[in-house]
Amino acid sequence: MEMETPFQTANMSSVLVLNVTYEPLSVVSMRRAVVLLLKEKAEILEATEREIRAANISLPAPLVIRLVYYVRVPHRVLVPFSRKTVMMRDKHTCQYCGAQPARAELTLDHVLPKVRGGLNTWENVVCACKACNNRKGSRTPEEANMPLRCVPQRPKYLAVVVLTSQGAHDAWVKYIPEMGDDLVGISI
């Protein structure tokens, strides 16, 4: 097992925090996760092969921890509608052709065009590459014979991944129902 000090590991990764019910709550720093573990407020569910060592203790570097107590989460937390959150919801993927071009090449497209009364809502805006957006023009997807890959909708819940610069770890996938949902942390 590779050994590292908490200070070497602390800034290298983020840790997914789950509620006692296994709902994603937040993404925290390695340092914060270790504090929660040492205070016995959380338990490790997934860990790396690395070990974090201190004078009297050694523990695996956590990837996913679960709180041992329930944190009440507001049922109706609204995800802010913005270019960034739409891009995150659609996984930076064109909803017409499935391409994942550079972010500068992605646009927002109105399913029902604005000139025909389309609104800036979760249900009417999708990511589109510039080529598909130009090809569709001011027509509906049906009129342009360009079916959407997914029906656009408001994200179902907030939880965790206003992704860190490193992005989500593979071990998180089984704990987050739709990795594409916008996830925002709740302080613990």
Q: How many C-beta atoms surround the C-beta of residue 68 within 10 A?
A: 11
User: What is the DSSP secondary-structure string of 2-57?
Assistant: -EE-HHHHHTT-EEEEE-TTS-EEEEEEHHHHHHHHHTTSEEEEEEEEEEEE-SS-
Model confidence at 9: pLDDT above 60: no
At 60, is the secondary structure helix, strand, or coil? strand
Instruction: List all residues 6 or more positions away from 156 whose beta carbon is below 8 Å from its beta carbon.
Output: 178, 181
Model confidence at 166: pLDDT above 60: no
The pLDDT of residue 8: 40
At 175, is the secondary structure helix, strand, or coil? helix
Integer-rounded Cα Rg, in Å, for the chain is 20
Tokens found for residue 180: 């594409």
Segments of the chain assigned to CATH 1.10.30.50: 83-136
Do 79 and 154 contact (CB within 8 A), yes or no?
A: yes
Q: Which of 6-20, 72-86, 171-185 tops mean pLDDT?
A: 72-86
> Which residue matches tokens 């590459």?
129
The pLDDT of residue 37: 94
In the CATH scheme, what is the code of domain 83-136? 1.10.30.50
Range name among 13-22, 29-38, 147-156, 172-181 with the lowest pLDDT average: 172-181
Instruction: Report residue 105's pLDDT band, with 50, 70 and 90 as the boundaries.
Output: very high
The 10s digit of each residue's pLDDT in 132-165 is 999 999 999 999 999 999 999 987 655 434 443 3
